[in-house]
Amino acid sequence: MDAFRDNVVVLTGASRGIGRELALQLADQGAWLALSARDAAALDEVAALCRGCGGQAVAIPADVGEEAQCAALIRKTVEAYGRVDTLINNAGISMWALFEEVTDLSVFETILRINYLGSVWCTWHALPHLKKTRGRLVAVASLTGKTGVPTRSGYAASKHAMVGFFDTLRIELAESGVSVTVTCPDFVATEIRERAFGADGKPLGTSPVQEAKVMTAETCARLILASAARRDRELIPSLRGKIGLWLKLFAPSLIDRIARKAIAEGR
């Protein structure tokens, strides 16, 4: 699959986890990458790896929680490559705490700015360029954007907002040639849970999940790129997610109980 050969791809959250794997797999296809994240050193490392495996890559450090930096990311991409063919909104931060135990409410604003508003801002600044190329918009949301999950209230809210925004945008852009693919991964083996906000607003430092039992970032990235290449409207990568969303239509209380049990067991 070389759907992204010579395709100019803007990828946020590219320094680790799913974003890092997306970058490497896109480079394998010969994409022209504009990679962004807050960690400049880690981003430079990923960009070098991408260039080493056949892709073109520029590192553009940015905090997508600031609109001006989102605008600069798109502007610098166009300066480097002349166009934008694909925007993958992947940057994200999580939380892991019961709502009533949260002592630092600022985490909710931070999560919304990075997960939701960052996607809105990057998309708004990229859209004129994407319409010229009849390009692709890809949102890396989450299964928590489809259903509530205990201890994830701020994260789930941001991902619900993300799903609603891109589902609406898909309708608005139906005649533009720009496709909108919303992906909703289940748990994936990345560092996002170690870096997630705890009740006190500080990173957890350790993962509450049995990481060895969840989908790898490599597999998740491969499924996302295949779905984006086909210009699918939506991707639910895990079987558990597909079954769970179907059951939610008929037995929502059952899904609530399953979610509580899964979180309690770290799976």
- The reply to whether 41 falls in a domain is yes
Tokens of 196: 């997630």
Is pLDDT above 80 for 262?
Answer: no
- The reply to whether 263 falls in a domain is no
Domain with 84, as residue range(s), is: 8-238
Going by C-beta distance under 8 Å and a sequence separation of 6 or more, which residues neighbour residue 211?
189, 193
pLDDT at 209: 58
- The reply to whether 96 falls in a domain is yes
pLDDT at 128: 99
Is pLDDT above 60 for 267?
Answer: no
The count of domains in the chain is 1
- The reply to whether 55 falls in a domain is yes
Is pLDDT above 90 for 162?
Answer: yes
Q: What is the pLDDT of residues 13-66, one digit of tens each?
A: 999 999 999 999 999 999 999 999 999 999 999 999 999 988 899 999 999 999
- Strands 179-183 and 234-235: what pairing? parallel
Over residues 175-191, the mean pLDDT reads 92
Is pLDDT above 80 for 85?
Answer: yes
- The reply to whether 255 falls in a domain is no
Distance CA 69, CA 262 (A): 37
Distance CA 134, CA 177 (A): 5
Q: Which of 81, 155, 165, 187 is catalytic?
A: 155
Distance CA 39, CA 24 (A): 17
Q: What is the pLDDT of residues 112-153, one digit of tens each?
A: 999 999 999 999 999 999 999 999 999 999 999 999 989 999
- The reply to whether 244 falls in a domain is no
- The reply to whether 248 falls in a domain is no
Across the beta sheet with 56-59, the strand order is 56-59, 32-36, 8-12, 86-89, 136-140, 179-183, 234-235
Residue 66 DSSP class:
S
Is pLDDT above 80 for 193?
Answer: no
Q: What is the pTM of this model?
A: 0.92
Q: What percent of the chain has pLDDT over 70?
A: 94
Please report, for the domain that includes residue 177, its CATH number.
Answer: 3.40.50.720
Residue 254: pLDDT band with limits 50, 70, 90 = confident
Q: What is the pLDDT of residues 194-241, one digit of tens each?
A: 778 888 888 787 666 555 578 999 999 999 999 999 999 999 998 888
pLDDT at 157: 97
- The reply to whether 220 falls in a domain is yes
pLDDT at 266: 59
Is 81 assigned a catalytic role?
no
